[in-house]
Amino acid sequence: MTLTAPRARIDGPATAEALTPTVREQLRRRRPWIVIAIVLVVGAIALLVIQGGFRAPGPLLGPANAAPAGSKALVEVLRRQGVDVTEASTLDAATDLARGGATVLLFDELGILDADALDELAAASERLVVVEPAFDALRTLAPGVRLGGVASGALDDVACDVRAAERAGELSDGQRLVTVDDEAAAEGWRGCFRDGEAFAVAAGPGPSGAELTIVAATTVFENEHVDEAGNAALAIGLLGASEELAWYLPGPADADAGTAPTLAELTPGWVSPVLVLAVVVTVVAGIWQGRRFGPLVVERLPVQVPAGETSEGRARLYARSSARGHALDQLRIGAVGRIAAVLKLPRSAPAHVVADAAAVATGRDAASVGRLLIGPEPSGDRELVDLAVELDRLEHDVAVSVRPAPAGTTGPGPTGPDTRPGDRPDQTGRRP
């Protein structure tokens, strides 16, 4: 701690200054951390909103998901109409159900299935409904059908002879579109619910001759939109064509680990050289700026260092850096502690209280004792030495003042600065 000059007169009433920071001061000190925490919280909330973190639990188009993006409402309606809906969790399960004559609904949201898996599923299915396929899935299952953007609004131009589409008659807003080129049209593909040159639904033969229907958007099957326009009629017409339905949402178990890209393939080419260079620079900087290798002390431990050498070494450091104020602070702190112990004051007593007690015990002027113990910093080495000598004399006088007087003596004794032990037989030994 640094001792500073007292704010009040040293001979006035001793008052303890409150050192506990207020709430405002604590907030001011921690303002940077508070701002950083607020930025992190706001960023996390924004990230959750962008990624749909507040979406109700359950997968998109999950057959048991009752959230707006789920499909539980459609599944319950199909079951009431006698359709046995089975959730297939793996490709093998979906393939087995397809071979048994079940209609298969495929929604590969993350694009997990590769071309071989899609071909296997299409070959085993008689009726396959693919919802919102990605580019790779369209290229595998329907080479002439391509993504065509988003519909401009509700669609009521059926434009095809698909029975489920004719029964629906209209689709709600929020549909995606696909296009059908001439080669696909020649192979038997036709589009339904026209919007310009694109369609919301496309139907045609699959690679193995299966009846394949592509629905470009999930809107038709979602709980939130299934009751709008003719969405429910189209969904029930496509999925209720047979007595059994396999609801297949591919998961991580269907991913082919052999074809997954490695970390090295995903990392840009410049990352590895930069990492190697960073390691080399870190090692070189550590050797350059670090301490020398080997033990700092050659002698075997424990090494005994006299306390006097430690004090002298610290004094030389203070002298080399001209830290007169810090050196005087250490002298004053030690003097205040020793004077407080001699006068039986608590260790927590403020410096100005110790100064008042020392002035009363020695008979000195309270202001001069206060300037000695809690005064300004010295302006030069000579003044520092003089203050050190005065501190030593003050400690001596305080020690003499509390010593018991010899028997048979009365009256005051000498109180000058040069008084030594035994020169004051008038002291009673009582603490003021």
CA distance 246 to 241: 12
Q: How many CB atoms lie within 10 A of CB 139?
A: 15
Q: What is residue 46's predicted lDDT score, i.e. its pLDDT? A: 81
Summarised one tens digit per residue, pLDDT across range 245-296 is: 999 999 888 876 565 566 776 677 778 888 888 999 888 888 776 655 555 5
- Does position 67 have pLDDT exceeding 60, yes or no? yes
Q: How confident is the model at residue 405 (pLDDT cuts 50, 70, 90)?
A: low
Mean pLDDT calculated for residue range 118-147 = 93
Summarised one tens digit per residue, pLDDT across range 358-399 is: 999 999 998 889 888 888 888 888 888 888 899 999 999 999
Strand, coil or helix: 350: coil
Q: Which of 10-19, 126-135, 225-234 has the lowest mean pLDDT?
A: 10-19
- Does position 180 have pLDDT exceeding 90, yes or no? yes
Whether 83 and 245 have beta carbons less than 8 Å apart is answered as: yes
Q: What is residue 171's predicted lDDT score, i.e. its pLDDT? A: 95
More confident: 49 or 108: 108
- Does position 345 have pLDDT exceeding 60, yes or no? yes
More confident: 244 or 12: 244
Whether 194 and 36 have beta carbons less than 8 Å apart is answered as: no
Q: Mean pLDDT, the chain, as a whole number? A: 82
Tokens representing 101 are 């004559």
Q: What is residue 410's predicted lDDT score, i.e. its pLDDT? A: 52
b/e sequence 92-112, b meaning 16+ C-beta within 10 Å: eebbebbeeebbbbbbbeeeb
Name the pairing type of β-strands 176-180 and 145-150. antiparallel
What percent of the chain is modeled with pLDDT above 70?
80
CA distance 338 to 344: 10
Which of these, 159, 106, 167, 118, lies nearest to 142 by C-alpha position? 118
- Does position 17 have pLDDT exceeding 50, yes or no? no
Helices (H), 255-306: 263-266, 271-289
Q: What is residue 189's predicted lDDT score, i.e. its pLDDT? A: 93
Which of these, 69, 58, 62, 66, lies nearest to 224 by C-alpha position? 69
CA distance 421 to 155: 112
CA distance 424 to 422: 6
CA distance 62 to 221: 10
According to DSSP, the residues that pair with 180 across neighbouring strands are 145
Q: What is residue 300's predicted lDDT score, i.e. its pLDDT? A: 61
Q: What is residue 10's predicted lDDT score, i.e. its pLDDT? A: 40
Which of these, 164, 142, 150, 333, lies nearest to 232 by C-alpha position? 164
Q: How confident is the model at residue 421 (pLDDT cuts 50, 70, 90)?
A: very low
Q: What residue ranges in 61-126 does DSSP mark as E strands?
A: 84-88, 103-106
- Does position 314 have pLDDT exceeding 60, yes or no? yes
Q: How confident is the model at residue 426 (pLDDT cuts 50, 70, 90)?
A: very low
Mean pLDDT calculated for residue range 151-175 = 93
CA distance 153 to 171: 9
Which of these, 78, 95, 86, 85, lies nearest to 237 by C-alpha position? 78
- Does position 54 have pLDDT exceeding 60, yes or no? no
Mean pLDDT calculated for residue range 74-79 = 95
Name the pairing type of β-strands 190-195 and 198-205. antiparallel
- Does position 407 have pLDDT exceeding 90, yes or no? no
b/e sequence 321-356, b meaning 16+ C-beta within 10 Å: eeebeebbbeebeebbeebbebbebeeebbbbbbbb
Q: What is residue 21's predicted lDDT score, i.e. its pLDDT? A: 58
- Does position 3 have pLDDT exceeding 70, yes or no? no
Amino acid at 296: L
- Does position 219 have pLDDT exceeding 50, yes or no? yes
Q: Which of 29-33, 59-63, 179-183 has the lowest mean pLDDT?
A: 29-33
DSSP state of 216: S
First to last CA, the chain: 28
Whether 96 and 74 have beta carbons less than 8 Å apart is answered as: no
Q: How confident is the model at residue 15 (pLDDT cuts 50, 70, 90)?
A: very low
DSSP state of 255: S
Residue with tokens 């059926």, as numbered in its chain: 158
Q: What is residue 279's predicted lDDT score, i.e. its pLDDT? A: 92
